[in-house]
Structure 1
């Protein structure tokens, strides 16, 4: 049987294609023993590309890296550390003068406790000097824990420390009952007393609590008006304590129903 004429040419083409695609034997041979691994060559300071070349017995010493010394700053450029300054609030001045407007504000707020003394005498039909004495007693006794309300110093810089906050809270809690006890005790023991002692003490306690809050607010307002914590500090405290004592007296006279019948 005769093969087709195109079959021998096809076999020859396939043989030629296989010879072209076959890999050369030289590429499969391992690298000679003289070659060095890239990692060891890099450790010696030799580039990784040069380590693949045949070993020619040429040493490439590693180049040491030397850090340049830092230049010392000249004495002229050295600035001394800043001096410690006294911490003060940015909106307060050490010796700010008391302006006429500040005097007017102080005088207006000082009249409020005096008005409370007069109003307490009208509520319970009590003598004016008696209500004044009760107000003074409440303010004096209440000043013992009330001094804790004014411990913030000018050096605080507008930020209170933990002890200052704790002292302020203790004064805010202890001042009303102590001031109420002073007003109530003087009215019940030294004078004719009230018609209802229990309600009179509760009224003095509530009035002292309101007076404490108003006194703290008035003290802070006067402090900002003068713009100086040192000037007239004693006047601000007396005004705040006057709020506390007058509040206790007003509550005492209002809730107690006035004095008992005076014996002749």
Structure 2
């Protein structure tokens, strides 16, 4: 018996509908409980639809993780400490020639001790060569502590540093009594001596003190008129020592009242 065509079409439609419903129920499975939320996936740069494909074993490229930038060292740590500067004198030009004006200054200051030797000989009627010898004796004995007055390294950047001040103070205290002792001792022991020995020593001490101060000033002035402080350094010291020795001799002859009467 042949079924009518309308019935066959109805049965086919029902079979197709049942197959579609069965397939949709099999595919509609719930998402896993531990799936990644769309907000987190979007923050990582993954499209929102990709987490839905995890149950279908779909592999998607991993999101590259950029390393956190390391904190740069501060500028204070990066900046190297400045190199230690060596203080040098502004008057240190190598092989600097001595100008004509500097030579005139040196010659003028050299005449002052010579004038003191001559003036000492005229005060008490002493012989010129005797006052010259007394000046030389005071300068030589006073040179021992007077070296501290001019003790200044080229790198010190000025006189007034701690060691320089201590040396300068010691030289300023010790130079006058030793210079006075040299002048007074030679005049009293070798030559005829003075009319008043006690006053002569005090006069030599005072004259040596004044000569020491003038010698320091003269040394500083002459040091500034040349472009290289190592040039003519010896001459500056000799001129300063001449101030000390001549000052002691002038004080000795003036306070001592001149030489005793020479025996014939």
Structure 1 residue 94 displacement after superposition: 3.8
TM (normalized to structure 1)?
A: 0.69
Q: Report the alpha carbon displacement of residue 232 of structure 1 after superposing the two structures with TM.
A: 0.5
User: How far has the Cα of 1:113 moved from its partner?
Assistant: 0.1
CA deviations 1:90-120 (Å, max 9, x no partner) are 3543432211110110000000000000000
Question: Where has structure 1 moved over 3 Å in runs of 4 or more?
Answer: 78-86
State the match for 2:54 in structure 1. Answer: none
Asked if 1:69 corresponds to 2:70, the answer is yes
For 1:17, the equivalent position in structure 2 comes to none
Aligned to 2:248: 248
**How far off is 1:208 after superposition?**
0.2
Structure 2 CA distance for aligned equivalents of residues 191 and 173 of structure 1: 28
Aligned pairs for 1:172-211 within 5 A: 172-211=172-211
Q: Quick one: distance in 2 between partners of 1:162 and 1:249?
A: 33
CA distance in 2, matches of 1:206, 1:112: 18
| Cα drift, residue 227 of structure 1 | 3.0
Shift of 1:256: 0.3
The CA distance in 2 between the partners of 1:247 and 1:199, in whole Å, is 15
Give distance in 2, aligned partners of 1:244 and 1:101: 25
Q: What displacement does 1:79 show?
A: 9.4
Secondary structure at 2:240 match in 1: helix
Structure 2 residue aligned with 1:29: none
| Equivalent runs, 1:10-159 vs 2, <5 Å | 68-70=69-71, 86-158=86-158
Q: CA deviation at 1:229?
A: 1.6
CA distance, structure 1, for counterparts of residue 254 and residue 201 of structure 2? 11
Distance 1:128 1:177 in 2: 24
User: Which residue does 1:169 correspond to in 2?
Assistant: 169
Q: Is the alpha carbon distance of 1:115 and 1:197 closer, same or farther for their aligned partners in structure 2, counting shifts above 3 Å?
A: same
User: Could you tell me how far 1:159 is from its partner in structure 2?
Assistant: 5.2
| CA-CA distance at 1:228 after TM superposition | 2.2
Matched, 1:259 2:259: yes
Structure 2-normalised TM-score?
0.69
- Name the SS for the 1:226 alignment partner: coil
1:237 Cα offset (Å): 0.2
Paired residues of 2:139 and 2:179 also in contact (CA < 8 A): yes
Distance 1:146 1:253, change over 3 A: same
Partner deviation per Cα, 1:190-246 (whole Å, 9 max, x = no partner): 000000000000000000000000000000000001132211000000000000000
- Report SS of the residue matched to 1:95: coil
